[in-house]
Chain A
């Protein structure tokens, strides 16, 4: 029972972590809460259904399931990255030097726009993601683990590892950390700050797209407002871990997934969505900067 709940929690938590990374990376660099990020995740899920449906209709799926699945993910990531990039250029970049509230309101506007855009073009009813792996799986230590769960946990952790290496080891990763610490100074050592910001949005949106597809597969249903609650939860995860901190978002996401799943089975599943926020309140009372966050003192 406990092991089963841990596996369930890791599955959901991995997805939360992937979305939370997008929030935390953008916040780290722009100090902006990108409220439209949940919508990118929702777009990822829709694109997953649309693209997979397309590959099925042209016969690719019956030919090679793995290929059509891989293409679905790759193209959905590509499209969502393009959405993320465009949103930044249109809605945030012109407000780079505006008061902090302006881009925040712009983000809420983008979020409302994208929800309605999907509702109008795809309809307000639930869309169904084809059940690919079914409930196939194996038993381990008294728990039933589906292959889909293995896939979701595996992909989440691999992506997190890749992102960690990218940020700590590569040239662009160093540039991102430099921009997060001091944008002006970063530009004065030759870093193109605008392109670093674009890359941040592209990576964050790509991760959200993968999360969207995996959730669509896990729950089987998608609608135009799933981005809202997922966005709020992932944002909570990012704050829990310490907003702006990449390891914090990874930890926060997984922690949140585990809390939800354990709470739902040991306390009551009725309040599943409330546990996350209860934990958030407790953590913020004890450590206002989040678990991995550093409390910064305002300079006088």
Chain B
């Protein structure tokens, strides 16, 4: 069963063709990487999937339903969550609060409940906190729940981004360069986390530049160059693909 199906996705910014007729499918519970040189359209693709940019043309289907042009908050409700290449935490909230905000849709706490602390309010609140701590534990941040998020070390901020996206309980998780700026040790920890998420039944699409990670983790790789999909397939095939090598290294280097 395809969880995500993208057909003819096109996005033009004025004369710039950020995406041109991109087609691909993502199997349920798989790990797929999107790679390509800078400016290839990877982030634009994520922006279209999460409703931040409206595609010029093309359709996006999630679990068979057409979700093209949904607003971002609707896309989350439908089951797509993401992280950002440049970290975008709610800096002034604590680590736990960042995760709780993501559970926004499931907590019903009005002023009445807060003032009178009735049973429903206390139960909802307790459940939300417990679930939030579980997500934090999953990425190894359970000890930092009460730290204000901008005080976290860089690597931990990246993990928190993942935990926050998870807390929205998505079926499809989009990770935009989850290991950017990390050392090899931290990168392999992120790899472990991604595998854990797969075991939990999540489908993961990631943009990544770290080829060791991409080749090690992906079941399938999509290669974009100048907005066009130039290759798609398992890591072994992509490694040998002449178009891909050309896109990365330029013509003639294979002499």
Give the interface of A toward B (CB within 8 A): 162, 165-166, 169-172, 174-175, 177-178, 181-182, 184-193
Question: Given contacts A165-B114, A165-B115, A174-B97, are A188 and B72 in contact (CB under 8 A)?
Answer: yes
Contact status A170-B114, CB under 8 Å: yes
Type the 1/0 row for B217-228, where 1 means its CB is closer than 8 Å to any CB of A.
000000000000
* Total A-B Cβ pairs within 8 A: 83
Interchain residue pairs A-B with the least CB separation, the first 7: A190-B76, A187-B72, A169-B114, A189-B102, A185-B88, A181-B90, A178-B101
Contact status B104-A190, CB under 8 Å: yes
Contact status A189-B114, CB under 8 Å: no
Could you say which residues of chain B place their CB within 8 Å of the CB of A172?
A: 110
**B82 in the interface, Cβ–Cβ < 8 Å?**
yes
Could you say which residues of chain A place their CB within 8 Å of the CB of B104?
A: 171, 174-175, 178, 189-191
Could you say which residues of chain A place their CB within 8 Å of the CB of B165?
A: 189
Residue among A166, A170, A171, A189 making CB contact with B76, cutoff 8 Å: A189
Type the 1/0 row for B47-70, where 1 means its CB is closer than 8 Å to any CB of A.
000111000000000000000000
Per the CB 8 Å criterion, the residue count for chain B at the interface is 35
Give the interface of B toward A (CB within 8 A): 50-52, 71-73, 76-77, 81-82, 84, 88-93, 97, 100-102, 104-105, 107-111, 113-115, 164-165, 167-168
Could you say which residues of chain B place their CB within 8 Å of the CB of A178?
A: 90, 93, 101, 104
Name the residue of chain B whose CB is nearest to the CB of A170.
B109
* Complexed CA–CA distance, A169 and B51 (Å): 29
Could you say which residues of chain B place their CB within 8 Å of the CB of A186?
A: 101
* Complexed CA–CA distance, A177 and B114 (Å): 17
* Complexed CA–CA distance, A188 and B104 (Å): 11
Could you say which residues of chain B place their CB within 8 Å of the CB of A174?
A: 97, 100-101, 104
Distance (whole angstroms) from the CB of B33 to the closest CB of chain A: 21
Residue among B91, B92, B111, B168 making CB contact with A189, cutoff 8 Å: B168
Contact status B88-A184, CB under 8 Å: yes
* Complexed CA–CA distance, A174 and B110 (Å): 11
Contact status A165-B111, CB under 8 Å: yes
Contact status B71-A188, CB under 8 Å: no
* Complexed CA–CA distance, A192 and B74 (Å): 8
Could you say which residues of chain A place their CB within 8 Å of the CB of B71?
A: 187, 192
